[in-house]
Structure 1
Amino acid sequence: MSSETGLPEGWEVRRSNTKNLPYYFHPATKDSRWEPPAGTDPEKLKDYMARHHSSKGVAPASMAAQDGKIRCAHLLVKHRDSRRPASWREPRITRSKDEATALIKEYEEQIKKYEANADDPEGKSLSDLAMTESDCSSARKGGDLGFFGRGDMQKEFEEAAFRLNKGEVSAMVDTASGVHLIQRLE
């Protein structure tokens, strides 16, 4: 195992030229994937990604404004009853829905502290939290989901997102995927 990245021996993190996103590559086998390989230490990987693969300010072409569509970022916490209880952070998620809800409430408090005072050491932006804590693969983009329209997302997510004003962060939203905090970007 790599002591710096937390990836199994032989694996490395690279950046896609077309998507400008990090991915995992094994040069000896030529295996590449978006999700970390089995045997990854999620805590070490999380720290490494936060230090070396921040994607702030990166806006690929798919991020261009489109009529009737909005752009949001989110932070997702999955639980064992989620539709797919696995993520880039954990190959098998065993936390209860109550535990997931408690985590999302903690993140919500950190976001509120950040919004009240960006210099508060206990505060963090939704984007910063999403990069290390979100169970969605959008974590590598600070939770940015790009533009989407009505009918593109799960009903509960879509309704909450379209109610938000630009810059606003939702209260907890419960969907089949898990529990979310959503921030409308555009």
Structure 2
Amino acid sequence: MSQWEVRMSNSKGLPYFFNKDTKESFWDAPSELSEEQVKSLPGADYLTGAGKAHAGQVRASHLLVKHQGSRRPASWKEENITRTKEEAIAILREYQAQISGSSKKFAELATVHSDCSSHTNGGDLGWFGRGQMQKPFEDAAYGLEVGKISDVISSDSGVHLVLRTG
């Protein structure tokens, strides 16, 4: 039998089914699984508690600026991102100065400027646990106190400011 698990979509805040063998994901339960099998999948508690924290999880928002070295140098704003990593960091530093510790200003800037689809939610990525995010991002989120904002963090996606919200 395939290796299914339930994961939480960071962009939609909804659970989905992920096959670790084929790397496919689906919103609906795989037809080959019975209701009991679905309930016993790793992460099945997401099916009943969508949007709620589970033990060991944190909630964070981010403001992402991609650069030409990002794993996918394109976003909802730009089809082909050509800025250098140094330019992306400089842009984030400008946002950081404007934010000045304000979570409200953070969300405003993330809505307009973040290269992530989470921009529609003010950068909110929802609740996530260890192993669900890229390591540098995860380390930053878990290392912050609630309400605090990180310095610039670099990951395969680009450079971020991270706001711990829960």
- Normalising to structure 2: TM-score of the pair? 0.68
Deviations 1:29-58 (A, max 9, x none): xxxxxxxxxxxxxxxxxxxxxxxxxxxxxx
User: How far 1:64 moved relative to its partner?
Assistant: 1.6
Q: Which runs of 5+ in 1 are unaligned?
A: 1-18, 21-60, 119-123
Tell me the equivalent position of 2:90. 102
Tell me the equivalent position of 2:164. 184
User: How far 1:62 moved relative to its partner?
Assistant: 3.4
1:132 is aligned to 2:124: no
Give the secondary-structure state (helix, strand or coil) at the position aligned to 1:62: coil
Distance in 2, Cα, partners of 1:182 & 1:125: 13
1:149 is aligned to 2:109: no
**Runs of 4+ residues deviating >6 angstroms:** none
Aligned pairs, how many?
120
- Normalising to structure 1: TM-score of the pair? 0.61
Distance in 1, Cα, partners of 2:111 & 2:134: 22
Mapping for residues 117-128 of structure 1, pairs under 5 Å: 125-128=105-108
The CA RMSD measured in Å over matched residues stands at 1.8
Q: Which one of the candidate residues 64, 75, 79 is aligned to 2:67?
A: 79
Q: Which runs of 5+ in 2 are unaligned?
A: 1-11, 14-48
User: How far 1:90 moved relative to its partner?
Assistant: 0.5
User: How far 1:65 moved relative to its partner?
Assistant: 2.0
Give the secondary-structure state (helix, strand or coil) at the position aligned to 2:109: helix
Distance in 2, Cα, partners of 1:63 & 1:128: 22
User: How far 1:134 moved relative to its partner?
Assistant: 0.2
> What one-letter code is carried by the residue in structure 1 that aligns with 2:150?
S
Distance in 2, Cα, partners of 1:62 & 1:179: 28
Distance in 1, Cα, partners of 2:50 & 2:77: 25
Among the aligned pairs, what percent are the same residue? 52
Distance in 2, Cα, partners of 1:177 & 1:98: 14
Tell me the equivalent position of 2:99. 111
Distance in 1, Cα, partners of 2:66 & 2:51: 26
Give the secondary-structure state (helix, strand or coil) at the position aligned to 1:109: helix
User: How far 1:89 moved relative to its partner?
Assistant: 0.6
> What one-letter code is carried by the residue in structure 1 that aligns with 2:85?
K
> What one-letter code is carried by the residue in structure 2 that aligns with 1:177?
S
Distance in 2, Cα, partners of 1:149 & 1:125: 26
> What one-letter code is carried by the residue in structure 2 that aligns with 1:159?
D
User: How far 1:63 moved relative to its partner?
Assistant: 2.5
